[in-house]
Amino acid sequence: MKKLSIKDRAMAATANMGQQPAIAAPLVPVTSELIRKPKTGPGAMAAFLERESNAIHENQLIKEELKTWEGVTPTKKLDPTTIAPSRWANRHQDSFSGLKWEEFKAEIASAGGNVQPIKIRPIPGADRYEYEIIFGHRRHQACLELGLSVLALVESITDKALFEEMDRENRLRADLRPYEQGEMYKKALADGLYSSLRKLAESIGLHPGNVSTAIKVARLPEVILDAFPSRLDIQYRWALPLTDAIEKDADVLIARAKEILVEREAGLKLSSAEVMSRLLQSKKATTLIAERFIKVDGKDVATVRNEKGSYQIVFKKDVLSQGNLRKIEAAIIASLKQ
């Protein structure tokens, strides 16, 4: 049906003026509104045009208001249990423990939730989760542990867009470690998001060498990674020396890493820098572990010495009985057979 013009609509509104209704209308109070009602065709036309003009003006104001919100993604508070980590999540479990993590959680708790929203995307047809995190895994985990709703931006984006936004946001925060970054890049290549390392580097605006170095850290053998107090402590500058050492003699490096793990279980504490030196067997490492003590109930009972690669355990006088000595000998034999 053809849309009526303003003139035609005005004429239709006045077509039946002066006619009596078939049924008597109920009495209504006389108001100024009724008194001012136009009684002629031209008057009705003027009143109609005025109403149309006001409506157009109001519509224009609404349009101007909407322009201020153009491109803005609204936030909403959601149950964190409905949100899944990204398949390319690069946060290591150590990022969710320790003093700094507890301080981070306390800050979110004091604010009643995350002030800066995380970003998520819907998961169509999912059984358990309704959303997947684009970025903000630590904020999400903090709210999850605290039992708080999580403030989130919701946007439907592609896998590649998710990966690139996550990488950009994490690098801007400057707290993502080489191992975590390498894990993220390694997963993206394994999942076929990019055809090559170079394509990946171009898409996120990094030099291919930086991406390659991060991946080298993430691809170190598990026993080497576990030798460090935390994988998050491994520095970019250590990737090449460790990779070169593995290429020269992987068995030797792995044996050293296993040795460090055994000593840690026995109570030895080494910093990440000391572990690095031990793995590469620098002169500094020999000095650092030349001598250490075995303590029982806070008292020194023995000294462990490393002299030219040979270990000596010297017990203090009257510490060992013959029975304890035989037990230690049996334990040494059993550990060497493993």
pLDDT digits (tens, 9 = 90+) for 146-192: 999 999 999 999 999 998 888 888 777 656 788 888 988 998 999 89
- Per-residue pLDDT band for 322 (boundaries 50, 70, 90) equals confident
Q: How much is the pLDDT for 197?
A: 93
Residue 246 has a pLDDT of: 92
Instruction: Let me know how many helices (H) and strands (E) the chain has, helices first.
Output: 14, 8
- DSSP, collapsed to helix, strand or coil, labels residue 297 as coil
User: Measuring CA to CA, how many Å separate 292 from each of 51, 183, 335?
Assistant: 92, 35, 20
- Cα 338 to Cα 333: distance, rounded to the nearest angstrom: 9
Residue 312 in any domain: the answer is: yes
Among 99, 127, 158, the domain-final residue is 158
Is there a domain that residue 166 lies in? no
- Residue 179 has, within 13 A of its CA and on its CB side, a CA count of 19
Residue 330: which domain range? Answer: 290-338
Residue 283 confidence class, pLDDT cut points 50, 70, 90: very low
Please report the pLDDT score of residue 8 as a whole number.
55
Distance CA 117, CA 152 (A): 5
Number of domains in the chain: 2
**Does the residue 217 lie in any domain?**
no
User: Residue 220's closest CA among 155, 276, 148, 137?
Assistant: 276
The answer to whether the CB of 328 falls within 8 A of the CB of 320 is yes
The domain that contains 88 carries what CATH number? 3.90.1530.10
- φ and ψ of 310, to 5 deg: -105, 135
Reply yes or no on whether the pLDDT at 143 is more than 50: yes
Helix (H, G, I), strand (E, B) or coil at 58: helix
CA angle in degrees (0–180, nearest 5) for 39-44-48: 155
Instruction: Look at residue 287 and tell me whether its pLDDT is greater than 50.
Output: no
Confidence (pLDDT) at 66: 58
- 286 confidence band (pLDDT: 50, 70, 90): very low
**Residue 311 main-chain phi, psi, to 5 deg:** -100, 140
Query: Per the domain annotation, does 126 fall within a domain?
Result: yes
Does 246 fall in a domain?
no
The two three-digit tokens of residue 80, written as one number: 């964190």
Q: Report the range out of 26-40, 105-119, 123-137, 285-299 with the highest average pLDDT.
A: 105-119
Task: Report angle CA 142, 146, 152 to the nearest 5 degrees.
Answer: 55
Q: Which of 127, 158, 189 is the last residue of a domain?
A: 158
Per-residue model confidence (pLDDT) at position 128? 81
Among 158, 174, 201, give the residue marking a domain's end.
158
239 within domain boundaries: no
Rounded to whole angstroms, how far apart are CA atoms 276 and 285? 8
127 found inside a domain: yes
Give the span between the Cα atoms of 187 and 85, in whole angstroms. Answer: 14
Instruction: Flag whether 100 is in a domain.
Output: yes
Residue predicted with more confidence, 74 or 65: 74
Task: Give the distance, in angstroms, between the CA of residue 145 and the centroid of all CA atoms in the same chain.
Answer: 15
